A and B are shown apart, each in its own frame.
Chain A
Amino acid sequence: MNPTYTFGTASMEIIILLLLAFLLGMLLCWLLRKMGLCCTVDTSADYGYKNRPIPREGGYTADINSLLRTSGNDVPARPRTSEIPRSATTAVSDAAATATSVAASIAGIGGGRKDDLKKLEGIGPKIEQVLNTAGIQNFEQLAAMTPDAIKPLLEAAGSQFRMHDPNSWPYQAELAAKGEWARLQEYQNLLINGQQ
């Protein structure tokens, strides 16, 4: 028997090895996701939206330059119907008022049509529900908003939505509204791989 190899030493070794194996597993998953080999969602299906007539007029300015857009350097050329300053507090009453004003300002856009907002990268069923509740039903409405106007809606919906970054949503919605699905797919691939 090795006198220096005590129960405590052995336990510590095992715990460290288990932790390392756990972290290694996570690392492999992360690497596979980065390489696009695993854990990605197929967004290539267009569900027939390609044939839907999308109004080309409306002043959207989607172009490849928008890929360079950052949260601190938003393209000012896009006409926004809603410019809501982010308040210092995130009280529920303020957020509810924000949601109401958002709904009022974008109510007429898109002709009341309802789009599948889940087609945009970063938006799942729960976030879609939050947006729908706030009055955002279609791509044109979402495209007409700024990320700063969307954030209060997420914050009002609960702490689990605060981590989500809506910076790319208006541009994605703009591409979807214009029916530019190939470009949207390209942009989403960039988002997934580059985490813009």
Chain B
Amino acid sequence: MFKDITSRYDMTSASLDVIIMLAVAFLLGFLFCYFRNKSARED
């Protein structure tokens, strides 16, 4: 997927792949904050 994106003309033509990656990164950021907060409370 990474190669597909970088071999395209520019970033705008790789929209679907980029959206999926960004959604996953967004979710990871949310979960990271959530679980960090949760473990801090359990201490």
Contact = CB atoms under 8 A, between A and B. Distances in A.
Given A38-B34, A124-B41, A161-B43, A18 B9 contact: no
Nearest to A33: B37
A39 B10 contact: no
Interface size class of chain A, counting residues whose CB lies under 8 Å from the partner chain: 20 to 34
Q: Is the interface of B mostly helix, strand, loop or mixed?
A: helix
Interface size class of chain B, counting residues whose CB lies under 8 Å from the partner chain: 20 to 34
Nearest to A192: B41
A26 B30 contact: yes
Interface of B: 2, 5-6, 9-11, 18, 21-23, 25-34, 37-38, 41-43
B22 A126 contact: no
Contacts of A39: 33-34, 37-38
A7 interface: yes
